[in-house]
């Protein structure tokens, strides 16, 4: 493949990844403005976040399977079309239900497009050195987009209004579509796993019922979630190509890595939603001021991530993972302790700590997940790690938002800290000091 075509694939993938990842955190800073215009309390605003997170998480594995089987460029472009359409629906939404519907369509689009990105890069860059560079660019774009989301959301909301967060997605998404139309080669694997529609449906029911029970505090939905989960596991055991390979997640280091990945986003995404609401309602900040207060988090994350990449080969993944989760947990505990104080400067130190913890853990946990299985199943392990991250984000927003509504901000933050400190303990006790070679 020509270098030009490989570069176009990288541009298309990075454009799509940037806009999808930016959207997951930028909307946080717009939540108070959204609540004032389309109505709803904290529970309703949690649905604005989780309609996207839940759909993205629930369909992520199936999106990868469909791309492998029916064409990765086809699914990549189809996902982008849905994401852009959902963004337009959000930008034009006159009511809360229309906004949540638009967010759901965005989540479906992201679940179809993002899983194809790695596979498209692997085809475009068959050489190991070139592929490594392309994957590094992918990781940098993903990290910068996630970290910059709150500031971008605050700037757009303050300058133009919250709807422009979604309008921003349109030209970027269309640019990615244009590049992908001629610059990205089609690829597929006719022998890839078959779709698992029964498992997919049961997964959606189980996750949807669980999130509904937590957000709406409607506990009769819990038995539905449990029954759907039991049926899902039964279907996966019998399916020849299960959506969730149970043999991978029963034992070993992979399930621990998945819990750590979920715990990381559980606390981080829940905190971002609550702190944006708290800064703009309890403290009276504007969206741009709230985004500036949060600035130490992305700055420290972007500055420290390259340094962390040098730690893993030298010290193994256990040290940065355990230190990262402990730093994030202690940061949330400190936030809970000072949340009611009038002074603002402690928050700057806390956001910096959270950015450091996020940088220490993000890369190593993905490395552990991929290396915990044989090489021929590394792609599946990476997909499971991304799934765990999105599930953690979904449940973090739902759980901490519900606690914020029924108790107070310190209690919600302390709960997120407890989950992350548990993950720090698991990272210290269940991960190797040095990364073993892949089988």
Tokens for 354? 């959270």
Task: Judge if 393 and 333 occupy the same domain.
Answer: yes
Residue 260: Cβ within 10 Å count: 29
Task: Judge if 104 and 82 occupy the same domain.
Answer: yes
Calculate the average pLDDT of the chain.
86
Task: Judge if 212 and 148 occupy the same domain.
Answer: no
- Alpha-carbon span 60 to 174, nearest angstrom: 22
Q: What is the DSSP string of 204-229?
A: HHHHHHHHHHHHHT-TTHHHHHHHHH
Task: Output the domain CATH number for residue 106.
Answer: 1.20.1250.20
With a cut of 70, which residues of the chain have pLDDT below it? 1-6, 128, 131-132, 135-136, 139, 375-379, 431-439
| pLDDT for res 439 | 42
Cβ distance 305 to 61 under 8 Å?
Answer: no
Task: Judge if 76 and 90 occupy the same domain.
Answer: yes
Cβ distance 116 to 76 under 8 Å?
Answer: yes
> Does residue 192 fall inside a structural domain?
no
Q: Please tell me the total number of residues recorded for the chain in this structure.
A: 439
> Does residue 174 fall inside a structural domain?
yes
| pLDDT for res 4 | 61
Domain limits for position 355: 246-439
> Does residue 41 fall inside a structural domain?
yes
| pLDDT for res 434 | 58
Task: Judge if 25 and 143 occupy the same domain.
Answer: yes
Task: Judge if 137 and 223 occupy the same domain.
Answer: no
Task: Judge if 391 and 362 occupy the same domain.
Answer: yes
> Does residue 11 fall inside a structural domain?
yes
| pLDDT for res 433 | 60
Q: Rounded to 10 degrees, what is the CA torsion of 157, 162, 164, 166?
A: 130
How many domains is the chain built from? 3
Task: Judge if 349 and 434 occupy the same domain.
Answer: yes
Task: Judge if 114 and 233 occupy the same domain.
Answer: no
Task: Judge if 313 and 366 occupy the same domain.
Answer: yes
Cβ distance 76 to 180 under 8 Å?
Answer: yes
Task: Judge if 148 and 201 occupy the same domain.
Answer: no
> Does residue 191 fall inside a structural domain?
no
User: What is the separation of C-alpha 204 from the centre of its chain, rounded to a whole number of angstroms?
Assistant: 17
| pLDDT for res 411 | 95
> Does residue 252 fall inside a structural domain?
yes
> Does residue 190 fall inside a structural domain?
no
| pLDDT for res 436 | 43
Per-residue pLDDT reduced to its tens digit, 177-186: 988 887 777 8
Per-residue pLDDT reduced to its tens digit, 405-423: 899 999 999 999 999 999 9
Task: Judge if 206 and 296 occupy the same domain.
Answer: no
> Does residue 189 fall inside a structural domain?
no
């Amino acid at each position: 493949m020509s270098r030009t075509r490989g570069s176009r694939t990288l541009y298309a993938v990075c454009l799509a990844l940037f806009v999808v990842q930016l959207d997951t955190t930028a909307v946080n800073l717009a939540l108070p403005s959204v609540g004032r215009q389309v109505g709803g309390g904290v529970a309703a605003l949690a649905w604005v976040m989780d309609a996207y997170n839940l759909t993205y998480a629930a369909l992520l594995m199936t999106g990868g399977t469909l791309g492998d089987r029916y064409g990765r460029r086809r699914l990549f472009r189809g996902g982008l079309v849905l994401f852009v359409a959902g963004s337009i629906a959000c930008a034009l939404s006159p009511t809360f239900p229309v906004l949540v519907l638009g967010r759901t369509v965005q989540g479906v689009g992201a679940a179809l497009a993002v899983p194809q990105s790695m596979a498209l890069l692997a085809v475009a860059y068959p050489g190991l050195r070139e592929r490594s560079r392309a994957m590094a660019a992918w990781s940098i774009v993903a990290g910068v987009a996630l970290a910059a989301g709150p500031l971008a959301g605050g700037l757009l909301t303050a300058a133009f209004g919250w709807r422009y967060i979604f309008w921003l997605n349109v030209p970027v998404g269309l640019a990615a579509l244009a590049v992908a139309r001629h610059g990205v080669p089609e690829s597929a694997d006719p022998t890839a796993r078959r779709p698992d529609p029964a498992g997919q449906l049961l997964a959606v029911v189980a996750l949807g019922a669980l999130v509904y029970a937590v957000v709406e505090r409607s506990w009769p939905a819990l038995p539905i979630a449990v029954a759907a989960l039991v049926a899902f596991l039964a279907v996966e055991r019998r399916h020849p190509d299960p959506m969730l390979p149970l043999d991978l997640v029963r034992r070993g280091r992979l399930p621990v890595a998945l819990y750590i990945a979920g715990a990381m986003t559980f606390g981080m995404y829940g905190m971002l939603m609550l702190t944006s609401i708290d800064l703009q309602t309890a403290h009276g900040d504007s969206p741009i001021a709230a985004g500036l207060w949060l600035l130490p988090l992305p700055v420290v994350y972007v500055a420290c991530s390259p340094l962390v990449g040098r730690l893993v080969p030298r010290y193994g993944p256990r040290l940065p993972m355990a230190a990262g989760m402990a730093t994030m947990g202690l940061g949330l505990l400190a936030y809970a302790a000072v949340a009611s104080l009038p002074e603002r400067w402690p928050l700057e130190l806390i956001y910096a700590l959270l950015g450091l913890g996020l940088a220490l853990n993000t890369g190593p946990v993905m490395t552990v997940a991929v290396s915990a299985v044989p090489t021929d199943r590394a792609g599946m392990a990476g997909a499971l790690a991304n799934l765990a991250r999105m599930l953690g984000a979904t449940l973090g927003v739902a759980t901490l938002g519900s606690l914020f509504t029924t108790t107070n901000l310190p209690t919600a933050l302390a709960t997120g800290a407890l989950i992350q400190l548990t993950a720090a303990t698991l990272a210290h006790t269940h991960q190797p000091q040095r990364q073993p070679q892949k089988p």
